[in-house]
Amino acid sequence: MTPLYQWTLAWAKLYKGEMNMKKVFALLLACVLTLSLAACGGNGGAAAPPDASANTPDSSQSEPQQPAEAPLDYPKSNITCIIPYGAGGTMDTLSRALFESIPDGLVPSGVNFVVENVAGGGGLVGTEQGLTRKADGYTIVGGNGDLIINHAIGATEIVLEEDFVPIVCLQDEPYCLIGPGEGECSTLEGFINKLKSGDNGVTVAITGAGSPGGLATRALSESFGVEIKTVTFDANNDCALSVTTGECDATFINVSGVAGQVEAGTLKVLAVTTAEEAPSLPGIPSIAQTYPECGDLNLRSVCFLGALADTDPAIIQWLSDTLNQGVASQSYADLTAPQMMIPKVWDIDGMTQYCKEAYAFYVSLLEE
């Protein structure tokens, strides 16, 4: 069951009265973590990508530990990283950038991290294939909120934090309200004022009624008591293009996929959907802070790499320490700067706890 199907199903239940809006957003908040193939960015003024010198890793979670001496006879050969999505997506791009950024001397000469793209099933095909590999430290797998939501609704028996051990965070960024580079809807205030002018005052590009943009648009509609016209496209890139051409007034996506357009000034980031401003997008307002009646959507895109749970704990720790040294490097900060994101060092315990709490929260909402 793909995330889009899950969202559409939830949307249908909402209209049938079988699921309330709170439950629909529970699905959204978990699923949205997996939509890492798009991107986000700025407010009233165009947000430029952070300077490489300013784009330093977020150390608010933890400092990376210097890797301990590698376990005996490990690693002796290449380590495969299964990315359960196609080449060129955010998880794929960030993984490759991370592997390039591992400081010299931490990995034995002749040993490389090799990406293997296994797309399909909303990430489940590659994840399930990863589980068939030996838990010997020579296979790691990309993971995100797709696994959490699939487990929460019973679509898979894979438990992210039990079948895998999260070893490094690749991405943690907010979804954003994106508007045109100039015109009435080029600021959050301008967009909201036009929205409040009456039914169908604004047009929002979405990828489906149950998509993040579709549900966020629904929330705005309910908050302000007006109908919002939507136009459905196949992909986030198409949504962004519709805003650039003027067909639509705005869209909800995450900034990394449209960083180039934001830098060029053809698009602007109007607001973030998280409760507070995002460190990666300084000066960009939060919708919840500016318009409290909208509530806290808290749409985040999070992805990370994990080792098979039965892997030797010493190997897991070495992998985590080594990869987090890459995350903390200036090289990784430089490579990710064009995507308007700040690298985040997150230890194993922190990521595991996040997965458990997210799963418990969404399940509790679905059971209400």
Question: Across the strands, what pairs with 272?
Answer: 176, 286
pLDDT for 193: 95
Q: What local confidence, expressed as pLDDT, does residue 36 receive?
A: 36
Burial of 290 (C-beta count, 10 Å sphere; 0-12/13-18/19+): middle
Q: Name the residue with tokens 């205030």.
A: 189
The torsion region of residue 26 among left (phi > 0), alpha (psi -120 to 50) and beta comes to alpha
Model pLDDT, residue 339: 74
| Mean pLDDT of the region 45-68 | 47
Positive or negative, the CA dihedral 243, 249, 251, 255 is: positive
- The amino acid sitting at 200 is N
Q: Among residues 308, 3, 355, 323, which one has the least CA distance to residue 130?
A: 308
Distance CA 52, CA 55 (A): 5
For the cut 50, the answer to whether the pLDDT of residue 46 exceeds it is no
**Measured between alpha carbons, how far is residue 14 from residues 19, 20, 66, 165, 284 in Å?**
5, 6, 49, 35, 32
Q: What local confidence, expressed as pLDDT, does residue 174 receive?
A: 80
Closest CA to 250 of 145, 140, 236, 263: 236
Residue 285 to residue 278: CA distance in whole angstroms: 8
- Kindly report, residue by residue over 146-172, the tens digit of the pLDDT: 677 678 778 788 887 789 999 999 988
**What are the residues whose beta carbons fall under 8 Å from the beta carbon of 165, sequence distance 6 or more?**
306, 307, 308, 309, 311, 316, 348, 352
- What is the set of domains in the chain, with CATH numbers? 39-44+175-294 (3.40.190.10), 79-173+301-367 (3.40.190.150)
Q: How confident is the model at residue 7 (pLDDT cuts 50, 70, 90)?
A: very low
Strands 250-254 and 164-180: antiparallel
- pLDDT value of residue 273: 84
Res 148: pLDDT: 75
Chain center to CA of 52: 21
Among residues 274, 302, 301, which one has the least CA distance to residue 288?
274
pLDDT value at position 359? 81
pLDDT, residue 342, reads 77
Enumerate residues 6+ apart whose C-beta is below 8 A from 225: none
Residue 367's pLDDT is what? 63
CA angle 291/3/138 to nearest 5° reads: 115
Pick the range with the lowest mean pLDDT from 79-93, 164-178, 210-224: 210-224
Q: Are 231 and 240 in contact (CB under 8 A)?
A: no
* Cis ω before 75 (30° cut-off from 0): yes
Out of 30-39, 79-88, 179-188, 329-338, least confident range: 30-39
Top-confidence residue, 136 or 274: 136
Find the mean pLDDT for residues 84-92. 83
Confidence of residue 234 (pLDDT cuts 50, 70, 90): confident
Query: What confidence score (pLDDT) does residue 312 get?
Result: 95
